[in-house]
A and B are shown apart, each in its own frame.
Chain A
Amino acid sequence: MSLIEITEVRKSFGDNEVLKGIDLNVEPGEVIAIIGKSGSGKSTLLRCINGLETINAGSIQVAGAQLATDELHLKALRLKVGMIFQGFNLFPHKTAGQNVMLSQMVVKKTPKPEAEAMAKKMLDRVGLGHKFDAYPDELSGGQQQRVAIARALAMQPVALLCDEVTSALDPELVQEVLAVVKELAAEGMTLLMVTHEMRFARDVCSRVVFMHMGRVHEIGPPDEVFGDPKTPELRQFLGAQH
């Protein structure tokens, strides 16, 4: 059994069908890059996996937790997959440390001292141990995104969903975030990331998914996808990247 099983997933917004039957199985420790044109449904797919969007057909399962619409099932699923957003979405009224502590205490009912220790550990892990007491607006974009990663990691998920986590960053801040993601990959975290960083996808990912018009149009190891694209759509997409 795969860690993430996505079977025949369909999703429409009104009569606009955005996902037209997605099948994807992800093994533990795999790092998957999702690439594709704007509007091809990459974000929607990630958002379906942790229930931010409801699916119209098909099924999604993460480490045995089935996607359903009720709050209990959703919570079980969300404890298994963390999500990192393009816009960081840190809680502005809480410090970096409190951001990382909050959901541990509220959702998992972790006692405060343990949540605090975990927050320190996770902030250290992303290189921000010294920013424990800083508020989000006192941090750079890259630092905020690293706090967001620490916040997701503190819930000890089995997989992380990353939606263009460096797209909102100034170019000089991109690398510090990618370095953290790369380290997670090396430590064996299962990652599903929508990205425009083709070099990163090539270097770090085990498989690349090319989405086109709501379908998985091509999938394979980075060498194959980037080195020997089979379909004209992928060739055109890769050509347009340079």
Chain B
Amino acid sequence: MIEFTTWDILRNLLLAARWTVVLSLVAFTGGAIVGLAILFLRISKGKAARVFASGYIELFQGTPLLMQLFLSFFGLSLLGIEVPAWLAAGIALILWTASFLAEIWRGCVEAIPKGQWEASASLGMGRLQQMRHVILPQALKIAVPPTVGFSVQVVKGTSLTSIIGFTELAKAGQVIANATFAPFTVYGFVALIYFVLCFPLSKSSQFLERKLNVAHRNH
């Protein structure tokens, strides 16, 4: 049997952690873009758009992420579309992230007083102009802490993609634990790396929230 040094274990885990970071970034960026689109539908004037958006949100928040991963990986291949694990993982995580971000942001948009909509409308602005220049800049400020806070969920969510065979941190941990017969050390490191990734995020979310509460000046 080959001997693994602690450094070997850690080095391999860190290499795999790169994919956790990449997948998190992809999920978060893609999720933000899709989430913004869902947000616009969710608060649009058209009933059909609103119904679609809330249906989307219910669906992706109301089913486990694990099932969404299975469906996008196995489901698509059943339909004859072969998707590699990384693609299936990316798609499922993006859609899942989008549903949560859209809902978080809707709350922020609705927290903006009605008078802001009315004043900008009475000045002749169209709906998109109101959003772009008046509503979103104000909503963005209150959206930052919960959005950063949710990014922790995204990082942890990527660990589920190990199930469909995508080799990120959790999957690498599994493989290395099996090879080294040192599960406690290996999973200890895995947990530690996740913590190192997530802790700054949740701390900065708390910090931003405090800062925002202290500075009640709105600019």
Interface residues of A (CB under 8 A from B): 50-52, 71, 74-75, 78-79, 81-83, 85, 87, 89-94, 102-103, 106-108, 135-137, 148, 151-152, 155
A89 x B119 contact (CB < 8 A): yes
B115 within 8 Å of A by Cβ? Answer: yes
Q: Within the complex, what minimum Cβ distance (angstroms) separates B138 from chain A? A: 6
Show 8 residue pairs from A and B whose CB-CB distance is below 8 angstroms, ordered by the A residue: A50-B122, A52-B118, A91-B116, A91-B134, A93-B138, A106-B125, A136-B218, A151-B123
Q: Within the complex, what minimum Cβ distance (angstroms) separates A121 from chain B? A: 17
| B129 contacts across to A, CB distance below 8 A | 106-107
With A52-B121, A85-B115, A87-B115 known to touch, is A71 a contact of B126 (CB < 8 Å)? yes
Q: Assuming A79-B124, A89-B115, what are 5 further A-B pairs, CB within 8 angstroms? A: A75-B126, A93-B219, A107-B123, A107-B124, A135-B217
| B11 contacts across to A, CB distance below 8 A | none
| A155 contacts across to B, CB distance below 8 A | 123-124
| A85 contacts across to B, CB distance below 8 A | 115, 118-119
B120 within 8 Å of A by Cβ? Answer: yes
B127 within 8 Å of A by Cβ? Answer: yes
A79 to B118, CA, bound (A): 14
Encode contact with A along B140-152: 1 for CB under 8 Å, 0 otherwise: 0100000000000
B47 within 8 Å of A by Cβ? Answer: no
A148 to B115, CA, bound (A): 12
B138 x A152 contact (CB < 8 A): no
Q: Which A residue sits closest to B122, measured CB to CB? A: A83
B210 within 8 Å of A by Cβ? Answer: no
| A81 contacts across to B, CB distance below 8 A | 122
| A148 contacts across to B, CB distance below 8 A | 119
Interface residues of B (CB under 8 A from A): 113, 115-116, 118-127, 129, 133-134, 137-138, 141, 217-219
A79 to B122, CA, bound (A): 8
With A85-B119, A89-B118 known to touch, is A107 a contact of B218 (CB < 8 Å)? no
Number of A-B residue pairs with CB-CB distance less than 8 Å in the complex they form? 72
| B138 contacts across to A, CB distance below 8 A | 91-93
A238 to B122, CA, bound (A): 32
Q: Within the complex, what minimum Cβ distance (angstroms) separates B31 from chain A? A: 26
Q: Within the complex, what minimum Cβ distance (angstroms) separates B49 from chain A? A: 16
| B127 contacts across to A, CB distance below 8 A | 71
B133 x A106 contact (CB < 8 A): yes
| A151 contacts across to B, CB distance below 8 A | 123
Q: Which A residue sits closest to B130, measured CB to CB? A: A106
Give the one of B121, B123, B129, B133 with max A CB within 10 A. B123
A107 to B122, CA, bound (A): 11
Q: Which B residue sits closest to A77, measured CB to CB? A: B124
A78 x B121 contact (CB < 8 A): yes
By Cβ-Cβ distance, the 4 closest A-B pairs, closest first, are: A89-B119, A103-B123, A92-B218, A89-B115
Q: Within the complex, what minimum Cβ distance (angstroms) separates B178 from chain A? A: 54
B122 x A82 contact (CB < 8 A): yes
A74 to B129, CA, bound (A): 14
Partner of A103, one of B124, B137, B141, B218: B124
B125 x A92 contact (CB < 8 A): no
A92 to B219, CA, bound (A): 7
Q: Which B residue sits closest to A161, measured CB to CB? A: B122
| A75 contacts across to B, CB distance below 8 A | 124, 126
A137 to B216, CA, bound (A): 10
A82 to B113, CA, bound (A): 20
Q: Which B residue sits closest to A82, measured CB to CB? A: B122
Q: Within the complex, what minimum Cβ distance (angstroms) separates A69 from chain B? A: 10
| B120 contacts across to A, CB distance below 8 A | 91, 103
| A106 contacts across to B, CB distance below 8 A | 125, 129, 133
| B115 contacts across to A, CB distance below 8 A | 85, 87, 89
Q: Which A residue sits closest to B115, measured CB to CB? A: A89
| B219 contacts across to A, CB distance below 8 A | 92-94, 135
A103 to B125, CA, bound (A): 7
| B118 contacts across to A, CB distance below 8 A | 52, 83, 85, 89
Q: Within the complex, what minimum Cβ distance (angstroms) separates A187 from chain B? A: 21
| B134 contacts across to A, CB distance below 8 A | 91, 102
